[in-house]
Every structure is written in structure tokens, then in C-alpha cells.
Amino acid sequence: MDKEIKGQLRAIVGDGWFLDTPNELYAYSYDATPLYQSMPDAVVMPSSVEEIAAILKVANEYRIPITSRGSGTNLSGGTVPVDGGIVLLTTRLNQLREIDQENLTATFGPGMITADLHKAVESMGLFYPPDPGSMRISTMGGNVAECAGGMRGLKYGVTKDYIMGLKAVLPTGEVIRVGGKNAKDVAGYDVTKLLVGSEGTLAVVTEITAKLLPLPPAKQTLVAYYNDLTDAARTVQRVITEKIIPATMEFLDQATMIVVEDFAKIGLPLDVQAMLIIEQDGTQLQVEQDIERIAEICRAEGAIDVRTAQTAEEGASLMAARRAALSALARVKPTTILEDATVPRARLAEMVEQVNRIAKKYSVHICTFGHAGDGNLHPTCLTDERDQEEIHRVEQAFEEIFHSAIALGGTITGEHGVGMAKAGFLELKVGASGIELMKRIKEAFDPHGIMNPGKIFAKSDRRRVVVKTNACGCQHEHNHA
């Protein structure tokens, strides 16, 4: 990027909000996804929609890639500026503009931290359910762009179920408003839903209006331990077929429990094969009835021990232990690769068995945890990226896991997005014509292809491209075909 363009960008955001020295840029060359890294040419930190529009006009005129970035916690390489260009940080747009108690909506900037939104609405007796494990650091813009899920997805759905309206800037600098506060609105195509989950490839979201619910007055947490993984998976199916929909149904296998216990020290037994953490919310009476019945089902399906948290603090600490799973696993080996294969709930037991079979076949260390109630598993490989031979086996194992998920009627990603990490597998799920249609949609928004290039759509038929940037800023591509 030449000096003149940098000068224009600096003038838009002001001194102090424009970065271009290698030391400053380095922190924006990677995100929470291992294996992917690439240096941007500049980072801008705008404070308003007007500044974002002006930045996009410059980028569009000079065909400079734009990578929007919230907190960089995504797990699909979504904010790695693979073609260089501008990283546009949205964290300064973090204002809560309104909580509308009559329409039950909240309107806020994309830089708002997810847990801050929870706190603000809960202080008024209201509830925004999506709760990704990263909620204390992730931004709502990132949640919208990835259509983030969380632990309450089973009963309450995911981000797309709550986003009612968006303000966004197109690559031309044009500002659009889509959706709004209307409970019903069928005026034309649902562009709001299209932007949710679009991974920064269509527009920059600058304002979000989300639906709120009344805050459930009570909740209770139960844990059940199993000596057989399939008993745990069967419990999940049986609870649902008995028409009880818990707020949360999380699964941890033994390997995950061991590292979580080492990390969180909450007294998990280490000699069992799996555990379920189940939480129900609602009225006190309903919660008590449901938890009692769920405990009976757990025992009937083979749980060797079932415990109900005696206090809200005990329940919260169990949920916190589950939230800590990825951080705990990340301490074990230098490289932690977490995937997101998802199957219809009824196929969960088969998918867990497939993951274990595949880990054995390729001789790789995979721990599995996840949102069992959603059929959304996070097989997590503990490895070392310096060992290229092992990384190759890890790639092969994950490829087979994705094929197994598709064969079971599932998908390659339930909540983390395609990004770079799964671009080579998208065709498995949507087919060649599905990809062509999506590319035409992208072209309509972004004819010059400047919005987060290299994401969602693979640049070639290669499986994965690992882009490394060395100290001198040169990029090297390594194929894992």
C-alpha cells in the first residue's frame, strides 16, 4: 500500500487510530485459529459509521482488501488478512444505544462485548440468550458475522434467531439499513439474515438491533457421569423425545475432563468416560420438575452418578468449567486445533464413535466436548505444528471427520464459520452449484472482491492453505492436499 493511500486512511481516522509499523501490525496477523497467519498493510480503528464509509470508499477505489475484526477470537481463520490490505477494527463502536422495553429490543454498536450486553439487559430483567464460550471477550459484530452459537442453543437458538435489524456499510461506502424492530416484516428479501453469518465478506456491520426475552426467574444445573459414551449420547436423545428441552446439554469426554480438572480444580471424577452438564431454566416449579425427571432419565440410561448443584454458585462453577474446556486443552500441547463438526442430534452417538475411530486410525490425540443437545461437537486435536508429519495426519483425520459428519446428515461447521480453515470442505456440504450461487451473491455486494478475500470460498481445490509470514514479512504457502 503506497504512502498516499496510507495518508488518506490516517486522515480519516486520525493519528493514533492508524497503525502501519511491523511491530504494531503483527498482533493483527493472526486470530484464535492455529496454523494461519498473514500480515496486513495497515490497521484502522474508526469511531463512526462515517469513518467506516470513507475507509471503504478508499479501499474500493484502490482495490485494497478489507478484513473487519472484532476481538479476533474466531476459530476459522476469519480475520487473518490473507491478501494483506486493511484490518478494520470495530472495537471503538461499542456503545449500547438503547434498550427498548416495549418492543423488547436492544440496539448497540458491533464492538460491544457479548457479556456486557448480557449484563446490561439482565439488569433490567431481560435476556439475550446466545452465550458463546468466548462471551467475555468476543464482540457482538463478530457474533453476528459468524452467527455464533453457545451453550443455550438447544432451547433458545443461535445469533441469527435474535438479530432483527442491522446497519451496514457496503464496499462502495453506501450505508444500508435492513430489518428493524418489527416483529413481522416480509418486505423483500431478508437481507438481515443474509448478513448474519456472512463472515465479513459482504459488508461491515455498524449497528445491531437484537430481540430480547424476559429473563427466566430460576435455573438449576445437573451433572451426570458415564462409563460409556453412548449412554451419555442416548440420554440426550431420550430427554428430548420425552419433550423436555433443557437450556443447556453439554458433553465432555474423559480426556477433556482430565485437563479441565487439572485447570479448574472443581473435583471432577477422572475415572469415568464422559459427563453431561445439563441446565434448565424457567419458573421455579418447572425447573424442579424437569431436573427431577432428567435425573431419572440419566440413571435409566446408565449414568453411574447424577448430582444436582445445591447452589447457584455450584451450578455456575460447573458451567464455568465447561467454558474453560478450550483454554484448558490449549495448555497441554503447543497447537490446539478445534473443529466444529455437527450432526442431527439423533446421530450424536454415532458421530462420537466415528471421532474416536478416526483418532485411533491416524494415531492423533483428539479430545471431544461440545453442545450435545445441538449435535454440535468440538473434536479438538492436541498437536504441535512444528511436527509436519503429525500435522499431515491431523489434516487427514479432520477430513475424514467432516466426511463422516456429512454422511450422517450433518455439516462441516455448526457455529465457527467456514473462514479459511474450512473453505476447502464447503463443497461437501453445499455442492458446486451452491458455491456458484453464493459467489454470485457475493459479487452483487462486492464486485471488486475486497471484502475479506480468501474466506468461505477456497482459492483453489486445495484442502487447506497455511500461510506463514516470517520476520521479514514474506509469505510462504504450505499445501496440505
**Which C-beta is closer to ligand FAD: that of 323 or that of 347?**
323
Whose CA is closest to 296, among 218, 242, 228?
Answer: 242
Closest distance of CB 10 from ligand FAD, Å: 21
Closest distance of CB 145 from ligand FAD, Å: 3
Cell reading at 227: 462409563
Closest distance of CB 96 from ligand FAD, Å: 16
* Binding residues vs ligand FAD (CB under 6 A): 31-32, 67-75, 78-79, 90, 110, 132-134, 138-139, 141-143, 145-146, 148-150, 199-200, 204-205, 326-327, 415-416, 452
**Which C-beta is closer to ligand FAD: that of 19 or that of 298?**
19
- Between CA 274 and CA 252 the distance in angstroms is 6
- What is the CA angle 338-413-160, rounded to 5? 120
Closest distance of CB 75 from ligand FAD, Å: 5
Cell reading at 463: 484442502
Polymer length in residues for the chain = 481
**Which C-beta is closer to ligand FAD: that of 202 or that of 391?**
202
DSSP string, 6-22: HHHHHHHH-TTSEE-SH
Closest distance of CB 98 from ligand FAD, Å: 18
Q: How many CA atoms lie within 13 A of 204 on its CB side?
A: 38
**Which C-beta is closer to ligand FAD: that of 315 or that of 454?**
454
**Which C-beta is closer to ligand FAD: that of 178 or that of 298?**
178
Whose CA is closest to 102, among 183, 43, 216?
Answer: 183
Cell reading at 113: 462485548
Contact in structure between 125 and 212 (CB atoms under 8 Å): no
Closest distance of CB 214 from ligand FAD, Å: 23
CB-CB neighbours of 192 under 10 Å = 21
Q: How many CA atoms lie within 13 A of 230 on its CB side?
A: 5
DSSP, collapsed to helix, strand or coil, labels residue 192 as helix
Closest distance of CB 327 from ligand FAD, Å: 6
**Which C-beta is closer to ligand FAD: that of 130 or that of 306?**
130
Contact in structure between 379 and 418 (CB atoms under 8 Å): no
**Which C-beta is closer to ligand FAD: that of 204 or that of 252?**
204
